[in-house]
Structure 1
Amino acid sequence: MRIIEDTRAPFVTPPGLWLPGRDIVGQPHGEGFEAAKKARTPRRSTRVTFRGLKFKRRYETLAFTEFRPLLALAFNPYVVDIREQFPIYEQEAYNRAVRAGRRMFEADKMSIDIVVTLVLPPDYRIHYHGISVKLAGADLSEKDEARHQREEEALGKLGWTWEFMPSNAYSALEFSNYLVMYRTIRDQDVFAQYEEADAFAEYVKKRSTNGTLGSVMRRIAKQLAVPEDRAHELFSIAASFGMLRVDHTKPFRDDEALHVLR
């Protein structure tokens, strides 16, 4: 699976989606999940933590290179959960540690940079997909290649898929667009506003979107008798669920023309 190519078709996150409390390896979904490695870092570190968009937890990125795909995936309507620094280990390795009364050796554990939970059409089945992220243009060593093979094989045993993703798989412009929308709604409970965002999206799709983002949102806010900031929030929430589709080859800014894909 290649997540960018395979989730390119228009899709709206289904409402009322239920996820099991834990997956097949016993890891919690959503707010109960804890990253295997934390971004507690010294000065001048490239590590980043940020508030989740669809779940009330902080995401731990061990390198800034992981921040761009993590944020982009949060706005992918096929993606219904994101778990970073995901721990993978053999049950027997855990059992040995328990019998010996010690913690597992680090060599017995792997952490996958990103594991996403996707809901896939046509029957909305749940699928798990691992992603290893590395700085674009960096040469992969034999150690890197061996690790990637171990990750793909480990996830394959679970029926999951895996891919390698360079840090620039999502363009700088697309990342900037997502950042604008994220800043608008990072403190919102987006799932609680699903129906309102859906109704807003349907209204937008029936109206002209000619003009800058700012002018279009002012016009629609006036028509709906809501504050302009609220129009921006509902637009971004709708975009995160796939109800509205932004053309990410163009900048998404108040003073730039709004490009909504029809």
Structure 2
Amino acid sequence: MRLGDCSHLPFSRGEAERLRQEDEQATIKVPFDPAFPEDLRLRTLAGRPILTWPATLPERDPRGVLSAGRFECWKKASDSKVGIAGSYFTYKGAGRVAIHSHLEARLLTYFEMCPFVVEIRTQYPAWDREKYLSNCANEKRMRKTEIMTIDFMLRLYIPGHGFRYHGVSGKPSAFLKDDRVVRRHDREADNLWLWESTHEAMTEKTVPDIEYRNLRRLLASMRHTEDIGAYTLRAAELARELYATKARGPLSRVLRLMSNRFNRSTRSTYRIFAIAHFLGYLRWDHRYPLDARLPMMLMRGE
């Protein structure tokens, strides 16, 4: 580093350039390659899936663990000693799930609105199979310390490749290169790979602040929706009209025009607008805030 070089400091031009490069890398979409499934990264996965709802789930996954709805989080929110834990409702988790930090809550919001994700289970138990079989043979129980938890176990649907399971560990970026964290993530990935599940680590940088706020606003518009599947046709119709419309002005004006066109209340139109994002019919450009007072910024193409 040269004397007087401040490029490493926050809010410097050097940091701005690094953030720009990270943003460009994050926007490059990569098709899933079945020859290298370990390279799967959800944020950069190419494709335009449309979520079928309600999702049809097997009773158990390949490891024999119950699917969402009957699955019990191995580590309850009350077990947390670090971070802000809580119990969060999620449609894809078929009820409430345990979350152990604000970072996990942030990732949960992203997974809930990502149409690649069909099912969410949090605090998923994983253990050494050989040790488990040895304990069974000797009529011994596994100690709680011998069972690690994966922050998220997702069931993905990738068009052209079907369903697959994908584990995610949420960890602050400052700790990502810590030796203990690296070893832990390696153990998680090795354990999941035994049954052909992939794994990746995500940080607070995975979901930018503006996108997190946008997704929370969409979820707020879906609040108290009991049957998302009943809105599928209306969501598809609204998406088709919004992509075709030449209406300009703030989002509130555009959705008010759609309310009049379909003879619906404005509140109902906002709900359908959010559900269209949940199902994948619409995609917001998260470089821009989702605000009723600002223009509508939808993404087209990949």
Q: Give the TM-score taking structure 2 as reference length.
A: 0.79
Match of 2:255 in 1: 217
Q: Do the aligned partners of 2:168 and 2:199 also contact (CA within 8 Å) in 1?
A: yes
Counterpart of 1:144, as a letter, is V
Q: Do the aligned partners of 2:92 and 2:120 also contact (CA within 8 Å) in 1?
A: no
Counterpart of 1:3, as a letter, is L
Question: Aligned pair in 2 of structure 1 residues 94, 185: CA closer, same or farther (>3 Å)?
Answer: same
- Report the Cα distance in structure 2 between the residues aligned to 1:12 and 1:102, rounded to whole angstroms: 46
- Report the Cα distance in structure 2 between the residues aligned to 1:210 and 1:31, rounded to whole angstroms: 43
Question: Aligned pair in 2 of structure 1 residues 209, 238: CA closer, same or farther (>3 Å)?
Answer: farther
Compute the displacement of 1:60 (Å). Answer: 1.3
Q: 2:236 is paired with a residue of what secondary structure? A: helix
Counterpart of 1:151, as a letter, is E
Q: Do the aligned partners of 1:116 and 1:130 also contact (CA within 8 Å) in 2?
A: yes
- Report the Cα distance in structure 2 between the residues aligned to 1:150 and 1:96, rounded to whole angstroms: 19
1:192-232 Cα deviation digits (max 9, x unpaired) = 32222222222322223522121111111111110101100
Name which of 44, 47, 57 aligns with 1:5: 44
Q: Do the aligned partners of 2:90 and 2:97 also contact (CA within 8 Å) in 1?
A: yes
Q: How does 1:41-190 map to 2 (within 5 A)?
A: 46-95=84-133, 103-123=141-161, 125-138=162-175, 140-188=177-225, 189-190=227-228
Q: Give the TM-score taking structure 1 as reference length.
A: 0.90
1:50-100 Cα deviation digits (max 9, x unpaired) = 210344311211111111111111111111011111111234444555566
Q: Which runs of 5+ in 1 are unaligned?
A: none
Q: 1:221 is paired with a residue of what secondary structure? A: helix
Match of 2:282 in 1: 244
Match of 1:40 in 2: 78
Counterpart of 1:4, as a letter, is R
Q: Which runs of 5+ in 2 are unaligned?
A: 1-39
1:219-247 Cα deviation digits (max 9, x unpaired) = 11111110101100101101011101111
- Report the Cα distance in structure 1 between the residues aligned to 2:164 and 2:60, rounded to whole angstroms: 14
Q: 1:30 is paired with a residue of what secondary structure? A: coil
Q: Do the aligned partners of 2:283 and 2:299 also contact (CA within 8 Å) in 1?
A: yes
Q: Do the aligned partners of 2:175 and 2:181 also contact (CA within 8 Å) in 1?
A: no
List, as ranges, runs of 4+ consecutive aligned residues in structure 1 with deviation greater than 4 Å: 14-17, 41-45, 95-103
1:91-149 Cα deviation digits (max 9, x unpaired) = 444455556666421232111011111111115x1111111111133354322111111
Count of residue pairs brought into register by the alignment? 260
1:167-200 Cα deviation digits (max 9, x unpaired) = 2211000000000001111321323322222222
Q: CA RMSD in A?
A: 2.3
Counterpart of 1:181, as a letter, is L
Comparing 24-33 with 42-51, greater Cα deviation is found at 42-51
- Report the Cα distance in structure 1 between the residues aligned to 2:54 and 2:86, rounded to whole angstroms: 31
Q: Do the aligned partners of 1:12 and 1:241 also contact (CA within 8 Å) in 2?
A: yes
Q: Do the aligned partners of 2:123 and 2:152 also contact (CA within 8 Å) in 1?
A: yes
Identity of aligned residues (%): 25
- Report the Cα distance in structure 1 between the residues aligned to 2:135 and 2:230, rounded to whole angstroms: 43
- Report the Cα distance in structure 1 between the residues aligned to 2:176 and 2:67, rounded to whole angstroms: 33
Q: Which has the larger radius of gyration?
A: 2
Q: Do the aligned partners of 2:49 and 2:158 also contact (CA within 8 Å) in 1?
A: no
Comparing 179-188 with 46-55, greater Cα deviation is found at 46-55
Comparing 145-154 with 196-205, greater Cα deviation is found at 196-205
Q: 1:131 is paired with a residue of what secondary structure? A: strand
